Structure 1
Amino acid sequence: MEIFSTGFNYKTAPVEIREKLAITESNYQSILEKLNSLDNVYEICVISTCNRVEFYGVFDGDESLKYEILKVLSQYSSIPINILEKHVFFYTGRDAIRHIFRVSSSLDSMVIGEPQIVCQFKESFSLAKEYKAVRHILTRLFDKALNVSKKIRTSTGISKKAVSISYAAALLARKIFGDLKDKSVLVIGAGEMAELAAKHLSSMGVKHIFVSNRTFERAVELAEKVNGSAIRFDKILEFLPEVDIVIVSTGATQPILKKEDIKKAVKNKREPLFIIDISVPRNVEDDVNKIEGVYLYNIDDLKSIVNSNIEERKIEAQRAELIVEDEVEKFIKWLNTQKVNPLITQIRDYADQLREKQLERLFKQIPYLTEKEKENIDLAFRSLINKLLHRPTMYIKDKASKEGNDLYIKIIEEMFSSKWDLRNKKQEKESVRED
Structure 2
Amino acid sequence: MSICMAGIDWKSANMDKREAFSFTGSQVEHLCRTIAQASGAAGCVLLSTCNRTELYLSGAGDLQPDALLCQAAQAEGAQTLFTVRRGRDAARHLMRVSCGLCSQILGEDQIVSQVKRAYAMAHEAHTTDAVLSQLFRLAATAGKKSRTQVRLSAAPLSVAGQAVALIEQKLGSLRGTRALVIGNGEMGRLASSLLAARGCQVTVTLRSYRHGQTIVPAGCRTIAYDERMSLVPQCDILLSATTSPHYTVTKSDLEGMEQIPYVVCDLSMPRDIDPDIRGLAGVSTFFDMDSMGGRDAHVNIEDRQQVEDIIAEQMQELERWDSYRRALPRMEELRALLSQRIAEDYALEQLTAGEQAETAEKMQAAARLAADKAAQWMLAGMQNQLDERALEACREAILRKAPQLRDRSMI
1:73 pairs with 2:73: no
Q: 39-48 or 370-379: which moved more?
A: 370-379
SS in structure 2 at match of 1:112: coil
* Deviation readout 1:366-388 (Å, 9 max, x if unpaired): 42448876665455434543466
Work out the number of aligned pairs and report it.
Answer: 402
Q: How far apart in 2 are the matches of 1:51 and 1:86?
A: 17
* Deviation readout 1:271-298 (Å, 9 max, x if unpaired): 7621100011001111100001213211
Q: 2:228 is matched with which residue? A: 236
Q: 1:211·1:222 contact (CA, 8 Å) conserved in 2?
A: no
% same residue: 24
1:86 pairs with 2:73: no
CA 425–188 in structure 1, closer or farther in 2 if over 3 Å, else same: closer
1:325 pairs with 2:315: no
CA 75–40 in structure 1, closer or farther in 2 if over 3 Å, else same: closer
CA 380–173 in structure 1, closer or farther in 2 if over 3 Å, else same: same
Q: 1:40·1:60 contact (CA, 8 Å) conserved in 2?
A: no
CA 366–298 in structure 1, closer or farther in 2 if over 3 Å, else same: farther
- C-alpha RMSD over aligned residues: 3.2
CA 311–159 in structure 1, closer or farther in 2 if over 3 Å, else same: closer
SS in structure 1 at match of 2:55: strand
* Deviation readout 1:82-106 (Å, 9 max, x if unpaired): xx22210111122111101111222
1:49 pairs with 2:42: no
Aligned-pair CA distance for 1:113: 2.2
Q: 165-174 or 9-18: which moved more?
A: 9-18
Aligned-pair CA distance for 1:355: 5.5
Equivalent residue in structure 2 for 1:281, among 267, 270, 274: 270
Q: 1:185 is matched with which residue? A: 179
* Deviation readout 1:104-127 (Å, 9 max, x if unpaired): 222222222222122222222122
CA 398–216 in structure 1, closer or farther in 2 if over 3 Å, else same: same
Q: How far apart in 2 are the matches of 1:135 and 1:159?
A: 35
Q: How far apart in 1 are the matches of 2:363 and 2:398?
A: 32
Q: 2:331·2:379 contact (CA, 8 Å) conserved in 1?
A: no
Q: 1:5·1:99 contact (CA, 8 Å) conserved in 2?
A: no
Aligned-pair CA distance for 1:74: 3.1
Q: 1:361 is matched with which residue? A: 349
Q: How far apart in 2 are the matches of 1:123 and 1:155?
A: 22
Q: 1:403 is matched with which residue? A: none
Q: 2:25 is matched with which residue? A: 25
TM-score, length of structure 1 as denominator length: 0.81
Q: 2:36·2:42 contact (CA, 8 Å) conserved in 1?
A: yes
Aligned-pair CA distance for 1:326: 3.6
Aligned-pair CA distance for 1:16: 1.9
TM-score, length of structure 2 as denominator length: 0.86
SS in structure 1 at match of 2:126: coil
Q: 1:342 is matched with which residue? A: 329
CA 374–412 in structure 1, closer or farther in 2 if over 3 Å, else same: closer
Q: How far apart in 2 are the matches of 1:276 and 1:388?
A: 63
Q: 1:381 is matched with which residue? A: 371
Bigger share in helix: 1
Structure 2 residue ranges without an equivalent (≥5): none
